[in-house]
Amino acid sequence: MPHYLLALSGVVGITSILVTQYVDINTVMMRFFRDVARSKARKRLYGDNQHALMPMLLGQEELLDIHSMDDADAITMTREELQYYRGQEEGRPIYLSIEGRIYDVTQGSKFYGPDKHYHLFTGTDATRAFATGCTKLECVSSDTTGLTEKEHKEILRWLEMYETHDKYTFVGYLVDDPVDAILDQMDDEAQQQQPNAGAATEDGMSGDSNETDNHDGQGNETENEEAATPPPNTPDTEALRQAEMADMADSSDQQQGQEQEQQEQKEEETVQSQD
């Protein structure tokens, strides 16, 4: 009996236990047949022994670094362009993407073609769905936020299967649309400038307020100076002025008296000279 059938019988037994614990049977079978394909590919490519499947089923195999196999001559494709490769138009291939690596799965159209079970994985990057085993539409995403270490390892296992499969081929890399990248950058710069503009306005308002305060301070100083100088009509000033006027009047009276005495003396001398 082929080794993968023996493994399958073991998996069926394990699955019956897992099902009672609410584990998705579809996810278990997907991963089982994935590991069978990986086992065959390793034997074909690397000459691994026929029992290589067991470590894979137990999660004890050494994972391959698929990203180190990058091909500089591979094509690039945006997400929008990838959407057209879902096998819905005659003659157009079927593509899917995992962690930005695009694979042609056209020869597996009985699984990935229109109305087939895994068709929702096509024309997009479904990294999260492959990592979690979720086959719902909301799980089909390139977002890996919050994934566990175990789920990241599942991504590597799927990458190995598509990379080494004898029917699926590596096409190229998924890239961001340069126009979208420019627009996103412009939006980010605009958002960064808005708080700075607000801060500058607040600083300007604060400066105006300080200048107003300074003007108020100068006004207060002027008022203090004015308060320190007594007004011209205070009682002390008025008394001093009246005393000065009185002295001037006395001086004028004395002068007039002296002049009158001198005049009278001259008149008497004139009269005496005539006699």
Strand partners of residue 169 = 104
pLDDT, tens digit, 9 for 90 and up, residues 14-43: 544 444 444 578 889 999 999 999 999 998
Q: Specify the pTM.
A: 0.61
Contact 44/35 with Cβ under 8 angstroms?
Answer: no
Residue identified by tokens 């990838």 is 82
- What Rg value do the Cα atoms of the chain yield, rounded? 52
Cα(136)–Cα(129) distance, integer angstroms: 8
Cα(28)–Cα(11) distance, integer angstroms: 8
Q: Please enumerate in sequence order all residues whose Cβ is within 8 A of that of 99, keeping only pairs 6 or more positions apart, or say none.
A: 67, 125, 127, 142, 144, 155, 159
Cα(254)–Cα(272) distance, integer angstroms: 27
pLDDT, tens digit, 9 for 90 and up, residues 138-195: 999 999 999 999 999 999 999 999 999 999 999 999 999 888 778 878 888 888 888 6
**Virtual CA dihedral for 104, 176, 30, 5, nearest 10 degrees?**
50
Six-digit token string for 116: 């087939």
Six-digit token string for 4: 């993968």
pLDDT, tens digit, 9 for 90 and up, residues 192-227: 888 665 555 556 555 555 555 555 545 454 455 544
